[in-house]
Amino acid sequence: MDVKLHLSEQQMIRKKAAVLLTLLIPYLSIAQDISYAKEVVKKLSSKEFYGRGYVSNGDKIAVNYISDEFEKIGLKSFKKNYYQKFTTAVNTFPSSMDLFLNGSKKIAGVDYLIDAGSPSLKGDFSTVILTAEEMFDQQVLSNKLRSAAGQFLVIPAFNAKDFSKEQQKQITDVLNFIKYHPDNPSGGSIILTENKLTWGGSTVLYAKPSFTVIVDSTAQPIEKVRLNVQNKFYEQYKSQNILGFVEGENKDSLIVLIAHYDHLGMMGSDAIFPGANDNASGIAMLLNLAKYYKSNKPKYNIAFIAFGGEELGLLGAKYFVDNPLFELSKIKFLVNFDISGTGDDGIQVVNGKVYKDKFDRLVEINSTLDLLPQVKIRGEACNSDHCMFHRKKVPCFFIYTLGGIQAYHDVYDRSETLPLTEFEDYFKLMTAFINEL
């Protein structure tokens, strides 16, 4: 009895060791190049890329760089080159961006953000204060809006938690009217906040400019506004996706690995949104995986796609699924890498609850190899490029790292402060997972 048990335990140990060795082999033969990852992140988030947006052709500079890297790695193209072109409307701020409150100059990206859909405006304006509480009284609200004709509305900071859900919705509706509706009689608006500044992009041009400004507790109430803002709106801006592939042993199916390269660009001539974590880090992961699979022939063909227009509404991915360069039905699995630069608290897996068997295997691999602190599950979320594929019934994960620096959609998301804490272990986990698909 004891002898049989002893033999059974030895067999189990040998079996586990064999499984572990099988998992380790795929990436023991080639080291993940962390220096290359750092180089990619530093390059893509440098000033010469203008935030990879639509000022000074920042997005085009980025795709040319990625295309060159694809060529150096030796990826094959699906057509005569790696480019898939599409067009989009986009609003930009290529030059003047000046805001003075009570004569004090504010710094773009640090003290304030302009709403991404704002038009040009220059001049001096007086102000009308509109509090959150005043938004609940229709008569008071109407009077304040009328009195603000040609002036700037200023909304003092408020804590949403102080109001009911119904009141919060009413506040949101009023703010949306003030910022976006052409019938708003004011010259523009300033919304004061104590929260972190987080910018975005816009494919729409609105009638009035709007600013979100960090509260200065020592400042007097805002009575005077001076600004000089110049926008440039493109109805048909030419953008592009970049894609290539490596051949595998089985050419009937595809593994697809994706990451978006675009970011928010610039707010005026001085404020750059570098986008180191979002998403130069994801491109670094994509290129590292391309290098790995070019040197280690995969089981299936693997496509590598760097999408444009993600920050404008997943536009590059939507264009691709509507105009695919290969049959979407051939995709065995897709992984989207976005925000890959930390990992102190592990990774989050969107669609983990949808493809639970794949998620469980990812967790098992991570546990066996003792890589990341945790692999956290999440359900569906249309918050990155994978969503366009998910809607077409393509099995996919969207994975992003957790913990570490909190810089996101701001001027502080820089390469010099991005630690790439768990990048190497994340890479190891993904190669082991992909090799089992």
212 and 256: one domain? no
Whether 218 and 198 map to the same domain: the answer is yes
Same-domain status, 245 and 372: yes
Reported confidence tier of residue 2, pLDDT bands at 50, 70, 90 = very low
CA atoms of 42 and 275, how far apart (whole Å): 10
Mean pLDDT of the chain: 93
Residue 5 lies in a domain: no
* In-domain check, residue 386: yes
Q: Is the pLDDT of residue 21 over 80?
A: no
The residue segments making up the domain with residue 150 are 98-229
On whether both 207 and 241 belong to a single domain, the answer is: no
Binned at pLDDT 50, 70 and 90, residue 216 comes out as confident
| 298 and 407 inside one domain | yes
Percent of the chain with pLDDT over 70: 92
* Residues contacting 390, CB < 8 A, separation 6+: 351, 354, 380, 382, 396
Burial degree of 402 (CB within 10 A; 0-12, 13-18, 19+): middle
Q: CB of 284 within 8 A of CB of 41?
A: yes
Tell whether 3 is covered by a domain. no
Task: Mark whether 88 and 204 lie in a shared domain.
Answer: no
Instruction: Please tell me the distance from the alpha carbon of residue 260 to that of residue 245, in angstroms, as a whole number.
Output: 16
The answer, yes or no, to whether residue 113 has pLDDT greater than 70, is yes
Is the pLDDT reported for residue 6 higher than 50?
A: no
Q: Is residue 260 over pLDDT 60?
A: yes
Q: Which residue has the tokens 């989009």?
A: 88
- Residue 287: its pLDDT value, please? 98
Higher-confidence position of 15 and 140: 140
Determine what percent of the chain is predicted with pLDDT higher than 90: 90
Of 175, 209, 229, which marks where a domain is finished?
229
Which of helix, strand or coil describes residue 385? coil
Q: How confident is the model at residue 22 (pLDDT cuts 50, 70, 90)?
A: low
pLDDT of 12 over the 80 cut: no
Provide the pLDDT confidence category of residue 184 given band limits of 50, 70 and 90: very high
Strands (E), 247-330: 250-260, 265-267, 271-273, 300-307
Pairing of strands 347-350, 271-273: unpaired
What is the average pLDDT across 179-201? 96
Per-residue confidence (pLDDT) for residue 163, from 0 to 100: 96
- Whether residues 197 and 337 share a domain: the answer is no
Look at residues 182, 200, 229 and tell me which one is the last residue of a structural domain: 229
Are the CB atoms for 243 and 305 separated by under 8 Å? yes
For residue 30, the model assigns a pLDDT of 45
Of 407, 114, 105, residue with least CA distance to 268: 114
66/104 same-domain check: no
Confidence band for 310, pLDDT divided at 50, 70 and 90: very high
Residues in CB range of 432: below 8 A, 6 or more apart: 23, 24, 26, 27, 365, 369
The tokens describing 266, both together, are 């610039």
Is 17 a residue whose pLDDT tops 60?
A: no
Question: Where does the pLDDT of residue 251 fall: very low under 50, low under 70, confident under 90, or very high at 90 and above?
Answer: confident
Question: Does residue 208 belong to any structural domain of this protein?
Answer: yes
What's this model's pTM, rounded to 2 decimal places?
0.92
Structural domain includes residue 49: yes
SS3 for 183?
coil
Signed CA dihedral, 365, 341, 409, 92: sign only: negative
- Select from 181, 199, 229 the last residue of a domain: 229
Which residue stretches of 137-230 are H helix?
138-147, 165-180
* Model confidence pLDDT, tens digit, residues 26-35: 444 445 579 9
Q: Determine the pLDDT at residue 13.
A: 47
pLDDT (tens digit per residue) in 155-167? 999 999 999 999 9
Of residues 375 and 9, more confidence is placed in: 375
Assess if residue 127 is contained within a domain: yes
Q: What is the pLDDT of residue 217?
A: 72
- Report the Cα–Cα distance between both ends of the chain, in Å, rounded: 40
Whichever domain contains 74, its CATH number is: 3.40.630.10
d(CA 24, CA 359): 19
> Per-residue pLDDT averaged across 376-384, rounded?
97
The secondary structure of 179-238 as a DSSP string is HH-TT--BSEEEEEESSPP-----SS--SS-EEEEE--TTSPPP-EEEEEE--EEEEEEE
pLDDT at residue number 1: 40
Q: Are residues 258 and 322 in the same domain?
A: yes
**Same domain assignment for residues 179 and 314:** no
Pairing of strands 331-337, 396-401: parallel
Q: Rounded distance, CA 282 to CA 385, Å?
A: 12
Residue with tokens 């003030």: 178
Q: How many domains does the chain have?
A: 2
Are 134 and 270 part of one and the same domain?
Answer: no
Q: Is 135 inside a domain boundary? A: yes
The per-residue pLDDT for range 402-432, each reduced to its tens digit, is 999 999 999 999 999 999 999 999 999 999 9
Q: Is residue 18 part of a domain?
A: no
Q: Supply the CATH number for residue 121's domain.
A: 3.50.30
Residues 275 and 412 in one domain: yes
